[in-house]
A and B are shown apart, each in its own frame.
Chain A
């Protein structure tokens, strides 16, 4: 029976990865080193499928085999299990992978996975230099850069300008103003929300941005202090809002959320969230009409400076050290991150990490008729405010947050009481991944 069950999983996995598409352009035969062309296997999530398809179309000499997968989103371990399998069989590695998980290069660069190829000699140094330093730092493991980020995922405050004007509310500048507005909304306009906390990445929005020390790496040890005052004060601020319904413990990607808060009469008044929310969440998931949403700068804690914010994503492109066609792989990654920039509805979902492309993208977004007001000043400002005190680790922390906090919030427990178990569960995950915890 176990064989049958495993077989079913394989079938399910194949169905999920079933969108494998290959262009019909003739294969240019053997992969010759130093020349762009030949076979190229690319693994992407659904959001990155257009860029892979566009590259294949623009490069008829490249025989691209594009495979879509779950993207390793929400802390999945799809890629770890796949790479283990490829390593064991000694074949099957794709040439390029896009991961939704910003920490994936950390383990990909190390044993036992040993998958990622250093980018130094593959992409010219003058091109690499134009990624922001903080982005390059997240791709640098033990002194070597192993990836380039597709986009920056800085958290801003998304504002429904139409509703705010209609209700005569001022856009909050601090977390305290935001919280008191939440109390006010619960009284005056019940059913409307000022945020949400049910996503697998909600801790990156509320805790990362507020400097909660949950992921501070020092060599092979990691410091996890879930009951630090930076964490408890945020929990104390959020608990009344979770209770009064203005910050529901629901994921923005669930049908429940779309039904309750989305659509034409949307109930999202404010929402702290990453730069890619405009397209992926408000437009495509919630079907919020145009001319409603815009971005405001990240919220400040009282009058503390500098203002820091969180990050949700910043997905990296990783090339395989097993690839026999690294020239083409590098050409694709460079094209995808520095050139691909369609306009209109097909525009890139996130803020490009490559600075010159970000400038062009911001110009496009400023003129994008979907927004109620120009969101670009806030997005641009937030790009430099991501708190650097949160280091990337080899284990995913999203499942830990989901299973130890979100399920309990749904059951009605206050966040303040869940920080300690969350910290404990994070420590266990860190230790299982081989870190010393202090």
Chain B
């Protein structure tokens, strides 16, 4: 278990920010003052639980050293591979749509007149106001052809004439990806828009004088300059995605058990801990998730130069 809620706290600097701010030393105190209030929470709810999970994952229920036994045991569990398969498919679909659509929409909006673009940014942001559990409940109605305001779409695009067909096992990763996309996309569009605003106007003007059209400017000038922001979005979203819990848990109850209560990896960890009292196995699954998140983050950071300060 770890905290990924540092989103706004350590957002990367973009473009030609003031070089002075990047110089190490001399600015320690203001930095600490900003980070200070967050640190105790990070330690209490992020670092310590993670260390506890690590300790649990490598010990048995009597507290003795277990090596990798908890890991081999959970990987052998018949629910392990399906759960991780579901989560990875979901995360792939969601991240793909998030990157393509969020960046695409933001670039489109950034080329528009200010009033139009702010109206659209607001529109995209609205679904995000329905956070987590409540958005799932709304989507459950949206996906039920008998009550959905978009029943025409549910019937003809999804081909679902009954609610049970809407939540058929093969459709679930896509359904959850859609729910997550609409709750998160608006916020990211606003952030990306902010990132695009940091690009100096002169760059755009120079490109235009050189004969670049709006598409070339968007793809050749703007996109490379917000690359770090995209990487940052992917890292945070990857962690959130692999930790999927609320959506399948609620759909499990709403579908009267048609969706298994171990659909996602996090649910499996929850069930192992609180149904089988096997906290060590649950911790092993959490550590698996932590490892996957860390590896993905490391890959993205090294590939995109996220923390490189002098480019």
Using CB atoms and an 8 Å cutoff, list the residues of chain A in contact with chain B.
1-6, 8-9, 11-12, 70, 73-77, 80-81, 84-85, 112, 198-200, 249-251, 253-256, 259, 398-399, 402-403, 406-407, 410-411, 428, 432
**A1:B45 contact, CB within 8 angstroms:** no
Instruction: Judge if B271 is at the interface, Cβ distance under 8 Å.
Output: yes
CB contacts (< 8 Å) of A3 on chain B: these are: 1, 3, 5, 45
B162 in complex: contacting residue of A70, A403, A410, CB < 8 Å: A410
B256 in complex: contacting residue of A2, A8, A9, A200, CB < 8 Å: A200
**B164:A250 contact, CB within 8 angstroms:** yes
Q: How far is the CB of A183 from chain B (nearest CB, A)?
A: 23
Q: Which residue of A lies closest to B78 (CB)?
A: A428
- With contacts A1-B239, A6-B245, A74-B257 taken as known, whether A407 is within 8 angstroms of B168 at the C-beta atoms is yes
CB contacts (< 8 Å) of A77 on chain B: these are: 261, 271, 274-275
The interface on chain B, measured as residues whose beta carbon lies within 8 A of the other chain's beta carbons, has a size of 46
Given contacts A4-B132, A403-B258, A407-B164, 4 further A-B contacts (CB under 8 A): A1-B5, A5-B266, A76-B261, A200-B257
Instruction: Judge if B243 is at the interface, Cβ distance under 8 Å.
Output: yes
**A8:B133 contact, CB within 8 angstroms:** yes
A256 to B236, CA, bound (A): 39
Q: How far is the CB of A412 from chain B (nearest CB, A)?
A: 10
A-B contact pairs, 9 of them (CB 8 A): A1-B3, A1-B4, A2-B1, A2-B3, A8-B132, A77-B261, A256-B163, A402-B256, A410-B164
Q: How far is the CB of A422 from chain B (nearest CB, A)?
A: 14
**B243:A1 contact, CB within 8 angstroms:** yes
CB contacts (< 8 Å) of A250 on chain B: these are: 162, 164
**B163:A255 contact, CB within 8 angstroms:** yes
CB contacts (< 8 Å) of B169 on chain A: these are: 403, 407
A406 to B255, CA, bound (A): 11
- With contacts A1-B5, A2-B1, A3-B1 taken as known, whether A410 is within 8 angstroms of B165 at the C-beta atoms is yes
CB contacts (< 8 Å) of A398 on chain B: these are: 257
List 10 tightest A-B contacts by C-beta distance, closest first. A81-B274, A74-B257, A8-B132, A112-B277, A402-B257, A84-B274, A428-B78, A74-B256, A80-B275, A1-B4
CB contacts (< 8 Å) of B240 on chain A: these are: 1
Q: Which chain B residues numbered 151 to 167 have a C-beta less than 8 Å away from chain A?
A: 162-165
Q: Which residue of B lies closest to A251 (CB)?
A: B256
A113 to B239, CA, bound (A): 33
- With contacts A77-B271, A256-B163 taken as known, whether A8 is within 8 angstroms of B277 at the C-beta atoms is no
Q: How far is the CB of A335 from chain B (nearest CB, A)?
A: 31
CB contacts (< 8 Å) of B11 on chain A: these are: none
Which of A198, A256, A259 has the most chain B CB atoms inside 10 A of its CB? A256
A1 to B266, CA, bound (A): 12
Instruction: Judge if B54 is at the interface, Cβ distance under 8 Å.
Output: no
**A402:B258 contact, CB within 8 angstroms:** yes
A402 to B261, CA, bound (A): 11
- With contacts A250-B162, A407-B258 taken as known, whether A255 is within 8 angstroms of B133 at the C-beta atoms is no
Instruction: Judge if B253 is at the interface, Cβ distance under 8 Å.
Output: yes
**A410:B168 contact, CB within 8 angstroms:** yes
CB contacts (< 8 Å) of A5 on chain B: these are: 132, 243, 245-246, 266
CB contacts (< 8 Å) of A407 on chain B: these are: 164, 168-169, 258
Q: Which chain B residues numbered 18 to 71 have a C-beta less than 8 Å away from chain A?
A: 45
A121 to B260, CA, bound (A): 39
A68 to B79, CA, bound (A): 30
A1 to B168, CA, bound (A): 27
Instruction: Judge if B142 is at the interface, Cβ distance under 8 Å.
Output: no
Instruction: Judge if B205 is at the interface, Cβ distance under 8 Å.
Output: no
**B258:A11 contact, CB within 8 angstroms:** no
Which of A70, A200, A250, A402 has the most chain B CB atoms inside 10 A of its CB? A402
Q: Which chain B residues numbered 112 to 153 have a C-beta less than 8 Å away from chain A?
A: 131-133, 144-147
Q: Which residue of B lies closest to A424 (CB)?
A: B78
CB contacts (< 8 Å) of A1 on chain B: these are: 3-5, 236, 239-240, 243
CB contacts (< 8 Å) of A9 on chain B: these are: 133, 245-246, 249
CB contacts (< 8 Å) of A8 on chain B: these are: 131-133, 246
**A255:B146 contact, CB within 8 angstroms:** yes
**A2:B245 contact, CB within 8 angstroms:** yes
Instruction: Judge if B307 is at the interface, Cβ distance under 8 Å.
Output: no
A407 to B255, CA, bound (A): 11
Instruction: Judge if B102 is at the interface, Cβ distance under 8 Å.
Output: no
**A432:B266 contact, CB within 8 angstroms:** no
Instruction: Judge if B259 is at the interface, Cβ distance under 8 Å.
Output: yes
**B5:A11 contact, CB within 8 angstroms:** no
A73 to B4, CA, bound (A): 35
**A256:B78 contact, CB within 8 angstroms:** no
Instruction: Judge if B2 is at the interface, Cβ distance under 8 Å.
Output: yes
Instruction: Judge if B250 is at the interface, Cβ distance under 8 Å.
Output: yes
**A432:B78 contact, CB within 8 angstroms:** yes
Q: Which residue of A lies closest to B77 (CB)?
A: A432
CB contacts (< 8 Å) of B2 on chain A: these are: 2
Q: Which residue of B lies closest to A112 (CB)?
A: B277
Q: How far is the CB of B104 from chain A (nearest CB, A)?
A: 25
Instruction: Judge if B300 is at the interface, Cβ distance under 8 Å.
Output: no
A259 to B245, CA, bound (A): 31
**A84:B277 contact, CB within 8 angstroms:** yes
CB contacts (< 8 Å) of B168 on chain A: these are: 407, 410-411
A160 to B200, CA, bound (A): 76
A225 to B276, CA, bound (A): 25
Q: How far is the CB of B64 from chain A (nearest CB, A)?
A: 18
Q: How far is the CB of B217 from chain A (nearest CB, A)?
A: 34
Q: How far is the CB of B279 from chain A (nearest CB, A)?
A: 9
CB contacts (< 8 Å) of A428 on chain B: these are: 78
**A76:B253 contact, CB within 8 angstroms:** yes
